[in-house]
Amino acid sequence: MNKDADRVKLPGIPYRFKQSGLLEQALTHRSVGKHNYERLEFLGDAVLDFVVSARLYQIKSEHNEGDLSRLRARVVRGETLAILARKLNLGDYINLGEGELKSGGFKRESILADALEAVFGAIYLDGGFSACESVILHICDPVIASLPDAGELKDPKTRLQEWLQGRGHDLPEYALVSEMGPAHQKHFTSRCVAPGTGIQADGEGGSRQKAEQAAAMATFKLLTRVPVR
């Protein structure tokens, strides 16, 4: 799958390198040797965080710090970066050691996300901040434009708690309904009660926390659909 990394430009990325060695390093996994993308990834991660933060600050003037942090996290998380890297076919250009190549490392989410950040770091070193910012926004602006409302990014327990407090109700209560399965494969069922509303719901998950989150989401959905006395 690997192609020659000694090039000055990658398809889909509007930047031409002056130092092709930087691009080669950005596309080299640590399984190949010491001259790999890890340091560039560190740098690219920092620049990405700043550029996305500045963009969100500019276009989301009605959001507070917590909202902006949640929105940024959705853009810069590994899952999102891996999706963007796949759209760029970045896996076709990553240099991998024999073991990683055989195991399909060019498809692995973590490797794709790290390599994309490393490319950002390489562009920063090769062309400066403005060039890197331009590339990051070119790639990430569609994601930023399609972000959901910040409230939807809060975890279900937080959303439920804020909804109840905002209407003068007590905090939600959680109880473990059941715990089944062997120690290495537990399955939990938890119940969430919204005091003063007459609403409760159960949720399931592989941990007690996940079960409570599921129960909170189910309760929140019921509350927002059913008139509360």
Flag whether pLDDT at 123 surpasses 90: yes
Same structural domain, 39 and 112: yes
For range 139-152, the mean pLDDT: 87
The CA-based diameter of the chain, rounded to the nearest angstrom, is 67
Query: Does 78 lie in the same domain as 94?
Result: yes
- Residue 51 and residue 120 in one domain: yes
Residues 193 and 214 in one domain: yes
Of 24, 41, 45, 212, which is the active-site residue? 45
Domain match, 72 and 121 both: yes
- DSSP secondary structure, 156-175, as one string: HHHHHHHHHHTTTPPPPEEE
Which of 106, 131, 147 terminates a domain? The answer is 147
Specify the range with the lowest mean pLDDT, choosing from 14-18, 48-52, 101-105, 109-113. 101-105
Of 108, 131, 147, the last residue of a domain is 147
Percent of the chain with pLDDT over 90: 74
190 and 109 part of one domain: no
Do 73 and 177 lie in one domain? The reply is: no
* pLDDT at res. 226: 56
Token pair 């690219």 is found at 44
- Catalytic residue status for 117: yes
**In this structure, is residue 15 part of a structural domain?**
no
- Domain of residue 44: give its range: 20-147
CA distance 24 to 205: 43
Q: How many domains does the chain have?
A: 2
Q: Which of 117, 126, 133, 212 is catalytic?
A: 117
The reply to whether 6 belongs to the active site is no
Asked whether residue 50 falls in the same domain as residue 159, the answer is no
Average pLDDT of every residue of the chain = 90
- Domain assignment present for 196: yes
Taking the model in full, what pTM does it have? 0.69
- Same-domain check for residues 49 and 140: yes
Residues 27, 139: one domain? Answer: yes
pLDDT at 224: 87
Token readout for 188 is 């939990």
pLDDT value, residue 7: 53
136 falls within a domain: yes
For the chain, the straight-line distance linking the first and the last C-alpha, in angstroms and rounded, comes to: 61
- Read off the DSSP letter of residue 200: E
Residues 125 and 172 placed together within one structural domain of the fold = no
